[in-house]
Chain A
């Protein structure tokens, strides 16, 4: 029975532009989300490791509340909650915020582990050379930490791309939303979701392999 299903390639081809548009938006919301997630993650990791108890506790509270709640709930929370607070933002922006806050929390834990792995003699060398805290982190500790944690960070980035499917619930026409629209119009779910899955696969594999290629090319020490 299943194998009798006749894939309608005409439908697939016809709706390909819609899916490509969705793919573009998935890539866009992911890329912008990643950029912000990285910033959030770095500062959260530094806050967690800070000597200030208040800063460290606040960062821990943020990380735990993200990690212990579903992303879908976080998306709803921002989507319906922000307007209540008088903050009206386009759905795309809310999606970026949700992904950045979510991935930022996971990324912070990865970066924290990377920083903690750097031997204290590196801090002492930096201190003895009169580097300020910011210079020490920026030029000595973080570059070394990032090399050690590159693979898990890329892993986290690929989660972010997959998680971006959830911003479809806010009406952002990314790949998942586009595919869903196609199947609603055509009543042909396989023709809609099969190409969508292939597109996710290609997107994420290019991210992973592209990153590891770059890492090998850039590795000099």
Chain B
């Protein structure tokens, strides 16, 4: 049974329709990469999954919860979905450790001692175990994103959403983040990843979905889609990012 089911999803910003009937399913443990030109609706699609965006039509079901049904317990849903943002979005007034322990204690009711233990453990795993008491503004972009990933993972989500996690990073810092994500994918986490990093798609993703103009244009095994796209728009896109 799929852990994410999207059926005929439509999303409009005023008069601009950004998602024009998306339907797809993601199985538990699967890593799916979303690619496509900017404005194709990839990020918006992710944001509809945890209710950061409202939708006009269709159904989104995550972990058996109908996300956009009236009366849905959004807090309960969001405890099961982790999200990593392009601009990290750490809380600047809290230390790296507090960025993890605050949501863990407040939103999940975990004891402070347990939360601190989890923070220590996760920060070590993402390679910034020495930055517990540092404030985010004193970290590099790569370190901030590591902290943000640890923060999301601390909630022990069933699904992780990555919205262009390396787009704001200097090229030499992206590799470390992608490696963390690959390890996470290998560990069996269900991941939906919006990214332009085709190497990550090849190495870590089970499936790639190419979107353009608010619809799914083509999907399949990542290497096949990258090397041998069937659709003309996919082919153009792969050429363009290949040229960079």
Contact = CB atoms under 8 A, between A and B. Distances in A.
Interface string B60-94: 00000000000000111111011101010111110
Contact of A125 (B77, B91, B106, B108): B91
B137 A129 contact: no
Interface string B36-74: 000000000000001110000000000000000000001
- Please tell me the size bucket of the interface on B: 20 to 34
Given A124-B89, A140-B91, A130 B108 contact: yes
Contacts of A147: 93
Contacts, number: 64
B90 A139 contact: no
B217 interface: no
Contact of A127 (B78, B90, B137, B155): B78
A221 B89 contact: no
A121 B50 CA distance: 14
Most chain A CB atoms below 10 A, which of B76, B91, B137: B91
B87 A121 contact: yes
Contact of A124 (B85, B103, B106, B108): B85
Contacts of A125: 85, 89-91
A70 to B, nearest CB: 38
A132 B151 CA distance: 17
Contacts of A220: 135
Contact of B92 (A127, A128, A131, A144): A144
A122 B52 contact: no
A142 to B, nearest CB: 10
Contacts of A121: 85, 87, 89
Nearest to A140: B91
Contacts of B79: 130
Interface string B106-135: 111000000000000000000000000001
Going nearest first, the 8 A-B pairs with the smallest beta carbon separation are: A125-B89, A130-B78, A129-B103, A128-B83, A130-B107, A221-B135, A130-B79, A121-B89
Given A129-B151, A135-B107, A144-B91, 18 more contacts: A121-B87, A122-B89, A125-B85, A126-B91, A127-B51, A127-B52, A128-B52, A128-B78, A128-B83, A129-B103, A130-B103, A130-B155, A131-B103, A132-B107, A139-B106, A140-B91, A144-B93, A221-B92
Interface of A: 121-122, 124-132, 135, 139-140, 143-144, 147, 220-221
